[in-house]
Amino acid sequence: MREYRVNTERQGEAVAAAVRVFAEHGNFIRNIIRLRVRDVSRREDLFQELFLRLVDLPVPSDVQNVRGYLYRTIVRDAIDLAREQEQERRHLKKYSKRNRIFIYKRPPRNAIAEETEKGSVFACLIEQLCRREAQVMTLRYRDNYSIPEIAAEIGIDRRSVSRYLTSGLRELRRQLAVE
């Protein structure tokens, strides 16, 4: 949100002018905001921000079409708000990807029991591998890292990651075939 500062001497005049504008064009303002902003929770924020803007920068006296002026102001604010929301969305997506949090998918109801069972089987199988193979297999198949991500995480070459995956899978297949 923006920060508005109003000189205390003219604050009363500016507030009165903004109140007059909202009294005269309030329904028009709300309708334009309703059309331009999808997120219902953000509509009231935009409405209040417009009021504060009009207190800080009243409608110029030479403006003949006040509705046109308000419309342009609301559209610019709505565009700024959409940009802020997109930036927040990108930030959350980046954060969730970095921390392996899936914010858009919900696990199935019995996922916890299944994951516990899969985790114990996976842990038993992984114990049979060497340390580096186990580490690579865990990052790849439990944590869903890609090969470049594993290479960056561990600090080895991508080809080495592929070799560890191949040898680890070969060993796991051998173990499962014997049992």
In a domain, 103, yes or no: no
**pLDDT 10s digits, 5-34:** 545 556 778 888 888 888 888 888 888 888
Parent domain of 155: 111-178
Report the CATH number that the domain containing residue 89 is assigned in CATH.
Answer: 1.10.1740
Predicted confidence at residue 163, as pLDDT, reads: 93
Residue 4, classed as helix, strand or coil, is coil
Q: CB 55: neighbour CB atoms within 10 A?
A: 20
Predicted confidence at residue 37, as pLDDT, reads: 83
Q: Are residues 79 and 131 in the same domain?
A: no
Which of 66, 98, 130 is at the close of a domain? 98
Helices (H), the chain: 8-36, 40-56, 66-98, 111-126, 131-137, 147-154, 158-178
**pLDDT 10s digits, 113-146:** 555 666 666 677 778 788 899 889 888 887 888 9
Predicted confidence at residue 81, as pLDDT, reads: 84
136, 168 contact by CB (below 8 A): yes
* pTM attached to this predicted model: 0.46
Which of 73, 98, 123 is at the close of a domain? 98
Of 13-17, 58-62, 81-85, 121-125, the one with minimum mean pLDDT is 121-125
Mean pLDDT over 58-72 rounds to 88
